[in-house]
Chain A
């Protein structure tokens, strides 16, 4: 077993770390994360417009269109916000002006859409090109724009302002030549060559999005995340930086369907993992903490008492490092296998329609039953599924925890925590 942890330490972690710390992916991660408050608050208006309780739904129905305005201008323009932030962070990582990076990124992204004439009211940009579904277009165009900015700076293709010009003015002029490259370039490709960049990029990433919604597509991130955590590395933050764009596209499609009153298409946007698999944190450790409350080992008991409240809020570092679960050969099996089993269980429960599919993003520190209820737009069966998943993982953890407990007692390290800690 220790050989196995060594192998993880030697191969999986450096690889995943390098991947997630890659400059562009890091900018994508930070850029998307900065839009999460908008998604959470914005998609909440979707619930307000279509409340899960029928009699409330009847009351708000005449106002649904108005209630949806904040939703449409936050969630509905997600890719636009993300594009600016990605451009900002990528430019910062090159030590370029962040605001210039953000503004240029947004320009490049917007230029991939051609405005259409709207009745006699003038020109309109189609909002469907600016929502989360277009996330990959936003990412590609933000990277393109910032790379042009960097190229221009490196080649000294900038206009130097005489001394005494305020810094903000001088900075904006630094973006002049990059803008003069980006705008005509994207316009020429889109209009003169008639090449639909938007459509092309979406087609390119379509297989990835489809794969992300399959059973294999949910098990792969689950296994990699638990393997990383098994050696004590923050699995979700590493895997999330690669997988989050896909999860967001899936979420966007679900939200669009919900807003249109159609059936929810996708099972596996991020709330799937958050509320039904990572109950209590990665590794579904809430069940472990619960059974540890009754452990024969005083150390495990006091550890679980300290870890239960954070655990209910899905913060499980205390369990992972305190128990410890990390590098613990006895707890490794249920830690990896449990989430796989409940992942499969949940997938099929949603696939055959026993439980609603998630389409709302809710703050991740809520207790899982509440989060699951809200994320599925108010499906009470989601709460039941969460409890089933807790019981399943608890049953799996139980024999392994017992074995670990026996080992602690045999070693004489099960006693007073304070003494052995210091």
Chain B
């Protein structure tokens, strides 16, 4: 599964990338996770992602991300705030499952 994370500068989401990868490895799910800053999102979302996750601190820009992702039918979802931490990998994977059904 290919997961694209977007935050403001791509810094904090890099921490969350690790949290997701760690949790996925534990549960045996194959994931590819990448984080970008909000400025790079529109360029990156073109490259075939299964889901785009929006960091809670940039949730006010979610319409902008949705508009950019709609063209490539990538579902966009805001991460639950409590999951956005080095310990939140499990919560985020559960969230992804819920969104993708």
Contact = CB atoms under 8 A, between A and B. Distances in A.
Q: Pick from A315, A317, A326, A365 the residue with the most CB of B within 10 Å.
A: A317
B85 A322 contact: yes
B81 A303 contact: no
A280 to B, nearest CB: 13
Nearest to B9: A237
B87 A317 contact: no
A238 interface: yes
A317 B55 contact: yes
Q: Pick from B11, B15, B60, B94 the residue with the most CB of A within 10 Å.
A: B60
Interface string B8-41: 1101100100000000000000000000001100
Contact of B91 (A237, A365, A421): A421
Given A233-B60, A320-B57, A421-B91, A315 B82 contact: no
B81 A306 contact: no
Contacts of B91: 421-422
Q: Pick from A21, A307, A316, A421 the residue with the most CB of B within 10 Å.
A: A421
Given A320-B57, A417-B87, A30 B82 contact: no
A322 B57 contact: no
For the complex of A and B, the 7 pairs showing the least CB-CB separation, nearest first, are A322-B85, A317-B12, A306-B86, A234-B57, A321-B84, A17-B60, A318-B85
A421 B90 CA distance: 7
B7 interface: yes
B61 A21 contact: yes
Interface size class of B (residues with CB under 8 A): 20 to 34
Main secondary structure of the interface of B (DSSP, over half): helix
Contacts of A232: 56-57, 59, 81
Given A234-B58, A422-B90, 4 more contacts: A306-B85, A317-B7, A317-B12, A321-B57
B94 A422 contact: yes
A273 to B, nearest CB: 16
A219 interface: no
A101 B8 CA distance: 25
A302 interface: yes
A233 B59 contact: yes
B86 A318 contact: yes
Contacts of A13: 60
Contacts of B15: 310, 315, 317-318
B87 A238 contact: no
Nearest to B60: A17
Interface string B55-98: 11111110010000000000000000111111110110010000
10 contacts: A21-B64, A33-B39, A310-B86, A315-B15, A317-B57, A318-B84, A318-B86, A324-B82, A326-B81, A418-B90
Contacts of A233: 57-60
